[in-house]
Amino acid sequence: MSAPAGAPPTSAGADAAEAAVEAITGAANQDVTFSLELTQDQKDIRDWVHGFAADVVRPAAHEWDEKEQTPWPIIQEAAKIGLYGFEGLAQFFADPTGLTLPIVNEELFWGDAGIGMSIMGTALAVAAIFGQGSNEQIGEWIPRCFGTAEDVKVAAFCASEPNAGSDVSGVRTRAKFDEQTGEWVINGQKAWATNGGIADVHVVIATLDPELGSRGHAAFVVPMSEAKGISQGTKVSKHGLRASHTADVFLDDCRVPAAYVLGGKEKLDERIARVREGKKNKSQAAMQTFESSRPTVGAQALGIARAAYEYALEYSKEREQFGRKIIENQAIAFTLARMKMEIDAARLLVWRASWMGRNQHRFENAEGSMSKLKSGEVAVWVTERAIQILGGNGYTREYPVERWHRDAKIYDIFEGTAEIQQLVIARAISGMQIR
C-alpha cells in the first residue's frame, strides 16, 4: 500500500528522531485554530490509515482475537509503511491543530482495537519519555521503543500495581539509589502492563518515598535487553482487546544506571527536596502521561463505536422480518440515529481536547477526561445496541459486533475508570475535594 504525500518517512535513527522532535516543538509555539473542514493532509492521512485498517487489520482481527497473541507480522507491516515508528507518531502529533493523532487512532481502531492497541500501545511509554525525558533521553530511548521495520520492538508503560490502580499514589514499587555503584535499584510488582515483558523499553513508575504519595514518584527506563532483575509475570487472559498483550511485570533488585531516570537524577533530587520542604510540585510522573493521552484514547473508542454503527446500519438495511427491512421500524432506525449522533458528539469532545492539549490550553474543566469518559460510554452503548440490532447473529462469534462490544468495555476502565474521570471533572468544575 503506497503512502500519501503527507505520510511519514520510514527511516529510523537518532537524526530522524531529532527532526521529529523539532517538528513538534517548532509548531508548539503558534496558537492554531482548527476547522471542521479537514485539510488535504489530514484527509490524505485519514484515508491512508483507513486503507491499512480495511485491507490489513480488519481481515486479520478475528484470527488474532482467537489466538490471543501479539500480531507481530501486522506491527511489522505498519512499520514498513511508516504507520508504526517514531517519525510517524511525531508527524501525527506535530499537526498544530492536534487533530491528526485522534484521526489516525479512530481509523486504525475502526479496523480492530486489539491489533490497534498492539500498534499504539507503545505510544504511552513514548509519551512518558517525550513528556519527562531530557533531549538526550528522547533521542536515545524513543527510537528504541519502536526498533526498525526489519526488527520491530514494542514498549510498555508500567504504572499500575495490584494495589494501585485508580489510586496511583498507592504505588509501592520502590527505587533506591546505590551510591556505591551509581545505580538505581528497583523492587516491586507492576500489574496489567500493555506489552509488559515482551517490550524492550519499559517505563516504570516507582516511588522514592511512599510517604510522599504521587509527589514522590519518578519514571525509570528499564530495558529488558540490558537490565537484570526484570521479568514478565502472568500474562492476563482478557474479555476483549485480546490481540494486545497484557501482563504483570516483576522487578527484583533490578539495577539500572543513574542516567535512566527520566529528566535526570539532579532534577529529581531537587524536586524531591522541594517536596520534603513542603513546596508545591507540579510533576506527577504517571498522571502527566495519562492526562495528555486521554483524548487519543477516546478516539480509539470512537473507532470501535463507528465500526459497530456502520455494520449495524448495513445489516438493518438487508435483514427482513415481517416482510420489510428491519430499519423500516422506527425502533431500529431511531436507535441508529442516536448511535450516529452520540458518536459525532463524542468526536467533537475528542477533537476539542486534542486541539486544547496540542496548543497548551489548560484543561480548566477537565476537557481531556470529558472526551475519554464520553467516548468510552458511547463505545460501550453503541456496540451493545449493535448486538441488539443483529439479534442472535450479533451474539455469535460469526459476526464481529460481539468482539467490538468486548473490546469497547476496556474504555470504561483503563487510563482512568469512568468513575475517576467523573471525579476529575467534578473537582475541576467545583474546585472542591469531591471524594
For the annotated catalytic residues, the residue numbers are 415
Rule CB under 6 A: which residues touch ligand FAD? Answer: 124, 157-160, 165-166, 192-194, 238, 241, 246, 410, 413-415, 417, 419-420, 423
Give Cα separations from 252 to 164, 180, 231, 255, 370 (angstroms). Answer: 18, 19, 8, 9, 38
Q: Say if CB 205 and CB 266 are below 8 A apart.
A: no
Which residue is associated with the grid cell 486534542?
354
Which of 82/133 has CB closer to ligand FAD?
Answer: 133
Nearest-approach distance from CB 132 to ligand FAD, in angstroms: 15
Minimal CB distance to ligand FAD: which residue?
Answer: 165
Task: Classify burial at 319, counting beta carbons within 10 Å of its beta carbon; exposed 0-12, middle 13-18, buried 19 or more.
Answer: middle
- Cα separation, 123 vs 340, in Å, equals 29
Q: Say if CB 214 and CB 281 are below 8 A apart.
A: no
Q: Count of CB atoms within 10 A of residue 6's CB?
A: 16
The grid cell for 74 is: 501486522
Which of 95/291 has CB closer to ligand FAD?
Answer: 291
Q: Which residues of 99-114 are buried (b: 16+ CB within 10 A; e: fewer)?
A: bbbbbbbbbbbbbbbb
For residue 301, give the nearest of 241, 357, 247, 244 by alpha carbon: 241
Which of 64/351 has CB closer to ligand FAD?
Answer: 64
Which of 192/399 has CB closer to ligand FAD?
Answer: 192
Which of 298/394 has CB closer to ligand FAD?
Answer: 298
Helix (H) or strand (E) holding 235: strand 230-235
Nearest-approach distance from CB 125 to ligand FAD, in angstroms: 8
Backbone angles phi, psi at 157, to 5 degrees: -115, 120
Nearest-approach distance from CB 335 to ligand FAD, in angstroms: 27
Q: Count of CB atoms within 10 A of residue 232's CB?
A: 17
Nearest-approach distance from CB 44 to ligand FAD, in angstroms: 31
- Cα separation, 313 vs 167, in Å, equals 40
Q: Say if CB 84 and CB 17 are below 8 A apart.
A: no
Nearest-approach distance from CB 290 to ligand FAD, in angstroms: 8
Nearest-approach distance from CB 157 to ligand FAD, in angstroms: 5
The grid cell for 302 is: 470512537
Which of 148/187 has CB closer to ligand FAD?
Answer: 187
The grid cell for 35 is: 476547522
